[in-house]
Structure 1
Amino acid sequence: MPAHDREAAQARAVLLRVLDGFDAELADVEARVARLGSPAAAVSRTLAAAGIRDAWRAAPDPTDLFLDPTPVGWFTAQLAQARACLPAGPGEGFGPDASGRYTAPCLFDPHHAPAEVSALWQPSPQLLPRPVPCCAEDAARLAAGQPPRAREFATERGPRPLWACGDRIQVFWLLGHFTLAGWERLAAVFAHTALASPLNYVMTHQWSDDHD
């Protein structure tokens, strides 16, 4: 097999594993919505997310998502809005507070409990620590010198946490999850990581262009 074809096949295989992760993510939110009484607004949002997922699964070439990953952001934005429609409770209260602001999701995995605390996190020994919004469990792990329970993505180098990924697919995934809470802190949080360059580009160019 020519090198180009081999590389394309490898990229496709990695993408399919990433999409499998998105399927599991949707199933997790659907189960959470059902467990908490299936509020109509939350059900509507999960159905919208499923429709976006079904569209990219039905596409003749799923690697088109590498060229235009905006559907990934739409997908995770629907999941974020579904969670915000759920009754407040331990690990569930993502809705607006009295001032109308939405609680941020945990930086390390938006499906953890809400980011009700801030903790110091060092992405790698070469980088400076920085304050990040995260769930209480990850904050306790960081305080104890342990790594956070970070969601990982399939890559050609094996599973990697978000900040070690450099594809726009992960950027749109992140921005969709923070669509309600806002992106103001994300550039500083991921500064000098592999995610920094594509994150800054999408936030200042592509996402704003797509929503004009």
Structure 2
Amino acid sequence: MADILYKYKDSVYANITNKCNCSCTFCIRSLKDGVGSADTLWHQQNPTTDEVLNAIRNYDFEGFDELVFCGYGEPTCALETLLAAAKVAKEEKNLRTRLNTNGLGNEENGRNIVPEIAKVIDAVSISLNAPDSKKYSEVTRPKYDGAFDKMVDFATKCKEEIKDVKWSIVDVLPEEDIAKCKALSESTGIKLRIRHFT
């Protein structure tokens, strides 16, 4: 089995599924098998909820105060595992929890999942990737029609129930696109983090 938990920079990450509803042109999955301390993040078979919970319970988090749900798949594609794992991380390990997501979890699960994740997730980082629907579809190649608007709606719903919500983009976007992303951030009141592309 691939690593369920791995260290990257100053955080511990939970790789709970390889399933994803996007096929991003820049996805690191197409470049290498692992990240950080993980030799491989490719699960031959996605871990069960119990396997993820056992990994968290048996992991030494000394020196770390946060668990980030982010691996080689979209965490909300394994929603029940995500919710159970975040609950254990908070209640049994006293960790802050963060969800890194593409923001299409409502579409994936056929309902508004924000009230559920708000109970166990302290922070949400949503990959904005592009400033408008056309460019977003070209870059992320999502499974769903109208994905950009659905992602924005998800972000807005998160902002209503979770204190720490951010969009993220990488600094390789054209300056014009970055400016448009900043404008969207200001109009929605959702912070924008510009990450360095590695």
TM-score past 0.5 threshold: no
Larger of the two Rg values belongs to structure: 1
More strand as a share of residues? 2
